[in-house]
Amino acid sequence: MLVSAKEMLEKAKAGHYAVGQFNINNLEWTKSILQTAQEMNSPVILGVSEGAGKYMCGFKTIVGMVEGMIEGLGITVPVALHLDHGTYEGAYKCIEAGFSSIMFDGSHYPIEENIQKTRELVAVCAKKGLSLEAEVGAIGGEEDGVLGGGEVADPNECKMIADLGVTMLAAGIGNIHGKYPANWPGLRFDTLAAISDKVGQMPLVLHGGTGIPADMIKKAISLGVSKINVNTECQLAFQAATRQYIEEGKDLVGKGFDPRKLLAPGCEAIKATVREKIELFGSANKA
């Protein structure tokens, strides 16, 4: 059964570790992430962007696939199915489809409008027992064609959104989706500390987990980050392993063309990436 992310994130905040959100793209991605979380006895959040939702034939298809897999694979660790960077309309579609967690990203609206829409969704999600993530200060880089300006959130605005009763809060602290450029100055720990002071026990979310050095991840967790999103890193791992399989000509040997063989090295690479992140985030054996 899918669960809200509330309890797992409150435990993570209290226990000074973070739960990974790993974005999914297809059956192989979902299976690899669920199996790794189970193997490591870790709670896990499956992230779905609206673009990935479309690709996988709609949110209902995804709910069916994930629920079926939890049963079919015998997954017993807590699993939240979470809309990533949802629009206002997308949030309602996922609530309807049976997601257990929603992100409403109103960071591109003026703060008053972000507050108004977030407040409405807090009430809807509370009634259904779903967790709700809100965002203040756009995350830099590109996510599914949406380009963020690399903003740094205003701690006072974070407090305003946190006070609405959201479950967790994403705040821009110089983090970027995708690969970090060589001249990236690093996370803004001064801002993160100021936000943490303002929002108290609210779990904070760090987007753009790909390529953030381990010491920065650990410091961010010590300053109140309890959920870390990783997407691109699994894609790069899958790509490199698939490329190697084909470059080595393995698809030309025997039944190497069988998709179950062709996609296997990529799946193993996703598993290795997820394993490494779960270790780093400290959520192993916290299920």
The residue within the footprint of ligand 13P, chosen from 46, 230, 241, 270 (CB under 6 A), is: 230
Q: State how far the Cα of 211 lies from the Cα of 76, in Å rounded to an integer.
A: 30
Nearest by Cα to 85 from 68, 101, 66, 97: 101
Residue with tokens 């698809």: 251
Only segment of 10-18, 27-35, 75-83, 201-209 that touches ligand 13P (CB under 6 A): 201-209
Q: How many residues bind ligand 13P (CB under 6 A)?
A: 15
CB closer to ligand 13P out of 35 and 232: 232
- Residue 89-128 contact track with ligand 13P, rule CB under 6 A, x = bound: ----------------------------------------
- Residue 127-166 contact track with ligand 13P, rule CB under 6 A, x = bound: ----------------------------------------
Nearest by Cα to 102 from 144, 130, 64: 130
CB closer to ligand 13P out of 43 and 47: 47
Catalytic (active site) residue 163: no
Q: Are 61 and 27 in contact (CB under 8 A)?
A: no
- DSSP notation for 236-267: HHHHHHHHHHHHTTGGGSTTTTSHHHHTHHHH
Round to the nearest angstrom and report the end-to-end CA distance of the chain: 14
Q: State how far the Cα of 37 lies from the Cα of 31, in Å rounded to an integer.
A: 10
| Residue 286 C-beta: closest distance to ligand 13P, Å | 21
- DSSP notation for 168-193: EEEE-BS-EESSPPTT-----HHHHH
207 counts as binding ligand 13P under rule CB under 6 A: yes
CB closer to ligand 13P out of 23 and 191: 23
Q: State how far the Cα of 284 lies from the Cα of 48, in Å rounded to an integer.
A: 22
CB closer to ligand 13P out of 229 and 245: 229
The residue within the footprint of ligand 13P, chosen from 78, 209, 224, 265 (CB under 6 A), is: 209
Only segment of 11-19, 31-39, 152-160, 225-233 that touches ligand 13P (CB under 6 A): 225-233
Residues 240-259 that bind ligand 13P (CB under 6 A): none
Residues 16-55 that bind ligand 13P (CB under 6 A): 23, 47
Residue with tokens 């509370």: 126
Residues 6+ apart with CB under 8 A from 46: 21, 22, 23, 24, 30, 33, 34, 66, 79, 80, 81, 82
The residue within the footprint of ligand 13P, chosen from 25, 30, 229, 273 (CB under 6 A), is: 229
What tokens were used for 285?
């054996």
Only segment of 66-74, 144-152, 205-213, 270-278 that touches ligand 13P (CB under 6 A): 205-213
Per DSSP, 15 falls in state H
The residue within the footprint of ligand 13P, chosen from 233, 267, 278, 280 (CB under 6 A), is: 233
The footprint of ligand 13P (CB under 6 A) covers 23, 47, 84-85, 177-178, 207-210, 229-233
**Residues annotated catalytic, as ranges:** 84
